[in-house]
Amino acid sequence: MRKLLTQLSLAGSLAAVGFALATASAQAETVLRTQLGQNAGDFVYRFISEEWMPKIETMTEGRVKFEAFPTNGVVPSNEAVDAVADGVLQADLISPVLYSGKDPGYALIGDLIAGYDRPDQMATWCMHGGGKEFLQQLHDKYTDGRVHVVGCMPYSREALVANTPINTVADLQGVKIRAPEGLSSEVFRRAGATPVALPFSEVYSALEKGVVDAADASAYVNNASQGFNDIAPNPLFPGIHSMPVYEFVVNKDVWDNLLDADRVSLETWYYAAYTALSRVADIEDLKLVREHSKEGSKVNVIDWAQKDRDAFRKFAAEAWSDFSKQNEIAGEIYDSHIQFLTNLGLLDE
């Protein structure tokens, strides 16, 4: 009997130790070193890093937390997904359009220039219309399956900033415009502008010195926070061109080692954070536009007529089509967009 009691006691002790170890493992803190696509002082960077990132600790009872870095804070932005795959970063919140040099499919996912009218339309395609799955296919190809795509969606249609008034699509003729290489530059080139490839960090000085006349920069509120409207006081709003998607990808090993509940929390966090960002950015944009539209303002806010928006979309659609012919997955992404845009009534049957 005494031997049996001893065995039971030992078994109970071992079970208790096992339970304690399992509990400690479940509660171990996972720090997601995450690079964003904005400068540290931007409205968007502050909104995500200060208001939303702390929420994940509450959602996961302290098991997961973010450590935020601004654009180029750890690695160049166009190398972010590779850094996530290698474990230098554990996650990124960056536009996949920056990876367009690897594959045209990234351009068609990351920013379908002049495609969708509202961020929620593009977000629906990304999250529920196949975009996230296409992005996973591309990342699997170029990172050997070492990253997991949690989601992808835009938060704003960006506002063009310009030194000179661009009131119609015809006014783009000869305008020197800062635009990222790839699809964006190609669309502006077809519309008659002269694209100039510059990093975002050089936009302010380029506008100030007249190196460029206009710039594909960021959301209206971000442009204002950077002082762009002070030196290029003819912004186009609502924007005519960019609506960049921001992916949320996590290192695959890190993702696989999370509790199921924490993976669900991260998915929920991303969707909620960027939906909230979209709404708040829209409110801030409209508030600033209203202020800048008052009599006596030094800012001249320009809103294109629908006929000019439609004409610009035609230039863009030609560029989408040409990009789609470069490889099979780009063609599939293009076809998916075209079907979705047609269903929304943004393209003719």
Q: Which residue has the tokens 């040409």?
A: 322
Query: Using an 8 Å Cβ cutoff, are 207 and 231 in contact?
Result: yes
CA angle centred on 229, ends 228 and 231, rounded to 5°: 70
Question: What's the pLDDT at 149?
Answer: 98
pLDDT category of residue 32 using cuts at 50, 70 and 90? very high
For 209, the enclosing helix (H) or strand (E) is: helix 203-209
Q: What is the pTM of this model?
A: 0.85
- Match 């479940």 to its residue by tokens: 26
Q: CA 330, CA 323: separation in Å to the nearest integer?
A: 7
What is the average pLDDT score of the chain? 90
Three-state DSSP at 48 gives: helix
The stretch 257-273 carries a mean pLDDT of: 98
Instruction: Judge contact between 219 and 159, C-beta under 8 A.
Output: yes
Give the per-residue pLDDT at 3.
Answer: 52
Question: Is pLDDT above 60 for 8?
Answer: no
CA distances in angstroms from 24 to 15, 17, 20, 261, listed in the order given: 14, 10, 6, 16
Please write the tens of the pLDDT for every residue from 174-210.
999 998 788 999 999 999 999 998 887 788 899 999 9
Provide CB contacts within 8 A for 172, sequence distance 6+: 166, 188, 191, 192, 193
Q: Which helix (H) or strand (E) holds 146?
A: none
Confidence of residue 12 (pLDDT cuts 50, 70, 90): low
User: Which pLDDT score, from 0 to 100, does residue 182 have?
Assistant: 85
CA trace torsion 304, 306, 307, 312 (10° rounding): 70
Mean pLDDT of 62-68: 98
pLDDT digits (tens, 9 = 90+) for 69-110: 999 999 999 999 999 999 999 999 999 999 999 999 999 999
pLDDT at 38 > cutoff 60: yes
Residue 152, SS3?
strand
**pLDDT tier for residue 5 given thresholds of 50, 70 and 90:** very low
| Cα gap 156→200, rounded to integer Å | 17
Residue 28 has pLDDT above 70, yes or no: no
Q: How confident is the model at residue 22 (pLDDT cuts 50, 70, 90)?
A: very low
By DSSP bridging, strand 176-178 and strand 214-215 are parallel
| Residue matched to tokens 């190609």 | 186
Ordered by where they begin, the domains of the chain are 28-156+243-284 (3.40.190.170), 161-242+295-344 (3.40.190.170)
How large a percentage of the chain has pLDDT more than 70? Answer: 92
Q: Which two tokens stand for residue 275?
A: 């939906």
Half-sphere exposure of 134 (CA within 13 A, CB side): 27
The answer on pLDDT for 267 being more than 50 is yes
Chain-centre distance of CA 183, in angstroms?
A: 16
The string of pLDDT tens digits covering residues 143-170 is: 999 999 999 999 998 889 999 999 999 9
